[in-house]
Amino acid sequence: MVESSVPIRFSIIDYLNALPLNMAFKDGIFGEEVTLHFDFPSQCADNLASNRCDVGLISSIEYQRIPNLLVAPHICIGAHREVRSVLILSKKPFAEIQTLALDRFSRSSAALVQVLFHLRVGRQPRYLTMSPEPSTMLAEADAALIIGDAALRPLPDDVEKIDLAAEWYAQTGLPFVFAFWTMRRHVNREKVTAMLMQAKQYGLPRIEQRMADIQARWPYPKDEITAYFRHNIHYDLGEAERESLTMFYRYAEEAGLIKHPRHPEWA
C-alpha cells in the first residue's frame, strides 16, 4: 500500500464530459493527499502503463491493454443513447466510407468505430490518425472521428453526423461505457474508491451553480450544457454497463483489436 504521507498521483481527463468527476480535484478538496496531472484520454492510459500515475480516468478499451489494473466500481463516463460528443462526420453513407480519420486523442471511440464497421459492414476502412480538426481531417478522408470538446463545437453542415453511442445502442440495446477510473494494485483501493465516489457526489450537484465558470471554460449555450449533462452523459456504472463492457470486449476481440479479453476486476 502507498503510505498516507505519499500523495496519490491522479491522471485526469480535462474534457467537459469529465467535469463532474474531476471538479472536486480541481477545487482541492483532497488537499495534499493527491497530485493531479490533466491529460488527454490517450495520455492518461500511457501514464498508468508507464507507472507515471497511480490512478487514471482511462478509455475503457485501454483496460484490456494495460495489465494489473483494478477498476473503480459504480463510476464511468457513459451514454444511454445519443452522446453528442463522440461523432463520425462523413461525406458518404456509413457503408460507403473507404477512409476515416481518427482523433489521435481517442482510443475507446476509435475501437468503437472499428467494432461498428465489423458489425455493420464486415470490413474496415483505411484509417488515418490526425489532430481533431474537422476540416483538415475531411480534406484527407471520407469521414472523421471527433470526440470530446471538439465534437461540441460548431461543425460543418454539409456532412452526415453519426453518433457512436446511438449506433452502439441500435446494435446492442445497451449503453456504451467510454471511460472509467482504474488504479494500480499498490494503492489503498478502499481509500481511492472512497475519494472517487466523494468526487462524483461533489461534482454532479454543482453543475448548475457553477455554470458561469463552466461557460468561461467551455463557451457553449447554457441550455446545451444542461441538456448534455441531463440527457446525454451519465456517470453510473451498473449492470447494463457491465454487460455492455463484456459485449464490447468480445466484439473488439472479433475485430482483432485485442486478444483474450478479461472481465474487469473491481477494486
Angle (CA) 230-231-236 rounded to 5° is 75
Average pLDDT, the chain: 94
Q: Are residues 192 and 158 in the same domain?
A: no
Task: Give the model confidence (pLDDT) of 174-231 as tens digits.
Answer: 999 999 999 999 999 999 999 999 999 999 999 999 999 999 999 999 999 999 999 9
Q: Are residues 163 and 90 in the same domain?
A: yes
- Percent of all residues in the chain with a pLDDT value above 70, rounded to a whole number: 99
> Of 172, 197, 224, which one is at a domain's C-terminal end?
172
DSSP 3-state of 171: helix
What is the distance between the alpha carbons of residues 165 and 169, in angstroms, rounded to a whole number? 6
Which has the higher per-residue pLDDT, 41 or 53?
53
> Of 150, 172, 194, which one is at a domain's C-terminal end?
172
Question: What pLDDT does 3 receive?
Answer: 47
Task: Give the model confidence (pLDDT) of 22-31 as tens digits.
Answer: 999 999 999 9
Which amino acid, residue 45?
A
What predicted TM-score, i.e. pTM, was given to this entire model? 0.94
Q: Is 257 inside any structural domain?
A: no
DSSP 3-state of 176: strand
What range defines the domain where residue 25 resides? 8-78+175-242
For residue 94, pLDDT beyond 50:
yes
For residue 144, pLDDT beyond 90:
yes
Q: Are residues 140 and 65 in the same domain?
A: no
What is the distance between the alpha carbons of residues 198 and 178, in angstroms, rounded to a whole number? 21
Identify the CATH number of the domain in which residue 238 sits.
Answer: 3.40.190.10
Q: Shortest CA distance to 139 belongs to which of 152, 158, 120, 124?
A: 158
Q: Is 248 inside any structural domain?
A: no
- Percent of all residues in the chain with a pLDDT value above 90, rounded to a whole number: 88
Q: Is 264 inside any structural domain?
A: no
**Number of domains forming the structure of the chain:** 2
Query: Beta 99-103 vs 143-147: how paired, if at all?
Result: parallel
For the record, the C-alpha cell of 215 comes out as 461557460
For residue 1, pLDDT beyond 50:
no
For the record, the C-alpha cell of 76 comes out as 464511468
Long-range contacts: 128-134, Cβ < 8 Å, 24+?
128/99, 128/100, 128/101, 128/102, 129/101, 129/102, 129/104, 130/101, 130/102, 130/103, 130/104, 131/103, 131/104, 132/103, 132/104, 132/105, 134/89
